[in-house]
Amino acid sequence: MAAVQETVDRVRAIDVDAYKYGFVSAIESDVAPKGLNEGIVRFISAKKEEPEWLLAWRLDAYRRWLTMEEPKWARVDYPPIDFQDLHYFAAPKNAAGPRSLDDVDPELLRVYEKLGIPLVEQEILAGVEKPRVAVDAVFDSVSVATTFKAELAKAGVIFCSFSEAVHNHPELVKRYLGTVVPSTDNYYATLNSAVFSDGSFVYVPEGVRCPMELSTYFRINEKNTGQFERTLIIAEKGAYVSYLEGCTAPKRDENQLHAAVVELVALDDAEIKYSTVQNWYPGDAEGRGGIYNFVTKRGDCRGARSKISWTQVETGSAITWKYPSCILRGESSRGEFYSIAISNGRQQVDSGTKMIHLGRNTTSRIISKGVSAGRSQNTYRGQVSAHRLATGARNFTNCDSLLIGSECGAHTVPYIEAKNASAVIEHEATTSKVSEEQLFYCQQRGLSAEEATALIVNGFVRDVLQQLPMEFAVEAQKLIAISLEGSVG
């Protein structure tokens, strides 16, 4: 309960108009000129001193992108994006490679402090030996701080920025890059393939259980900078890794495009758990200035009995277009998707998952909790398909929506496709409202309307919160209350 109370205190402390994380830090950037053309793609690749094959891969994606059209099927509405009016590369100036925290720009450390990031990591940054979380901080586009690297190396785990991986482990990058999300996959993933800046790379060797949770905090900082993160996680046979991703962004007047790609590969008996707490700037009360989040996240259960589990808490962004998916290729592999998507104000969320059953006896589970408040629109869009050869495939989907107030919308769009008679697919869905009766009951016991709403919503999403690592769950509870701020009259 402490967390809920704390949440409420936090909610109270927040000025309605001032997005808590809306500040701009003053680290100088190395910025590419606005616009997108082959020259920019080459500039990015050259800046990062990439090998020829990667430049060729980028250029191929860029040429493909020119022939593609923006997807229009999502239930989101926004003015056309001028892709020539964005910067495609920005790197903090000191990025030439600080290898210890002493070398890290103190301004950056202050940014983290302002962000309240994350108590756990602050302790680590301060050298407190307690929880075992390794942080690979992606600040604007270049990783500038990596901790615990040595200990991970001892276990044989590679955890580094994507650029470092390109230089130090080119054979791994070459073998896996684009094998889950091909560079031709969709408009935004293809754009990302052409201009991706940096991201994280994780490789867990055969039989290794990663000794700590891996954590990356993404942050958008440069004015008008499209962010194109690229993350690749590979778990070899029998390996296990849990990866946490959390995001905040400073306030902006203009919309910011974010089009990340995350690829996960799990080989035989491997397990990858990927958790996200996303809290990007959602825009002002009229929806101006928020982040556009067009993300492609996909995991490939390539090996037999492998398992990939996505857990997400989505509270931010003006527009969210995101479907973390699993391709269940290996026999008896398993995919899971646990989601809390909260929208308030003018936010538009179109999110869900895809579970593609290709192998025999593959199983998947989808638990989605959507909470809409204000004048937001919140859509769950999910696909479950069982291939002709995926005999014995099983899926269970539970999709609940909660409405707060009468001006918001909740929509559920499931696509279900079974091509063999032995597949069993279940879909449950409910839509409910935070009722006057519930609010009155809680208030009669002394809870304020805000406290009551936070309590009811936290109850509604409990099944999913329980899937998060402990320290993340606490953060998530706070975020939930913060993002519902102002939703009760």
Partner 1 sequence: MLEVKDLHVSIHGKTILDGLSLAVKPGEVAAIMGPNGSGKSTLSYVIAGKPGYEVTSGEVLLDGENLLDLPADERARKGVFLAFQYPIEIPGVATMTFLKASLNAQRRGRGEADLTTPEFMRRVREASQRLKVDQEMLRRPLNVGFSGGEKKRIEILQMTLLNPRFAVLDETDSGLDIDALRIVSEGVNALRDPTRGFLVITHYQRLLDHIKPDVVHVMAKGRIVASGGPELALELEKNGYRDYAVEAA
Positions that interact with partner 1 (CB under 8 A): 1, 4-5, 435-438, 440-449, 451-452, 455-456, 458-463
Cα atoms in the 13 Å half-sphere on the side-chain side of 219: 27
Which C-beta is closer to partner 1: that of 4 or that of 61?
4
Q: What is the rounded distance in angstroms from the CA atom of residue 489 to the CA atom of residue 115?
A: 28
Which C-beta is closer to partner 1: that of 204 or that of 452?
452
Which C-beta is closer to partner 1: that of 295 or that of 481?
481
User: Measured from the CB of residue 395, what is the shortest distance to partner 1 in angstroms?
Assistant: 23
Query: Which residues, 6 or more positions from 462, have their beta carbon under 8 angstroms from its beta carbon?
Result: none
User: Measured from the CB of residue 407, what is the shortest distance to partner 1 in angstroms?
Assistant: 18
Which C-beta is closer to partner 1: that of 302 or that of 369?
369
User: Measured from the CB of residue 442, what is the shortest distance to partner 1 in angstroms?
Assistant: 7
User: Measured from the CB of residue 121, what is the shortest distance to partner 1 in angstroms?
Assistant: 27
User: Measured from the CB of residue 3, what is the shortest distance to partner 1 in angstroms?
Assistant: 10
Neighbouring CB atoms inside 10 A of 265's CB total 24
Which C-beta is closer to partner 1: that of 4 or that of 135?
4
Which C-beta is closer to partner 1: that of 122 or that of 438?
438
Which C-beta is closer to partner 1: that of 260 or that of 402?
402
User: Measured from the CB of residue 474, what is the shortest distance to partner 1 in angstroms?
Assistant: 14
User: Measured from the CB of residue 483, what is the shortest distance to partner 1 in angstroms?
Assistant: 18
User: Measured from the CB of residue 377, what is the shortest distance to partner 1 in angstroms?
Assistant: 24
Which C-beta is closer to partner 1: that of 74 or that of 468?
468
Q: What is the rounded distance in angstroms from the CA atom of residue 161 to the CA atom of residue 138?
A: 8
User: Measured from the CB of residue 322, what is the shortest distance to partner 1 in angstroms?
Assistant: 24
Q: What is the rounded distance in angstroms from the CA atom of residue 48 to the CA atom of residue 353?
A: 33
Which C-beta is closer to partner 1: that of 319 or that of 465?
465
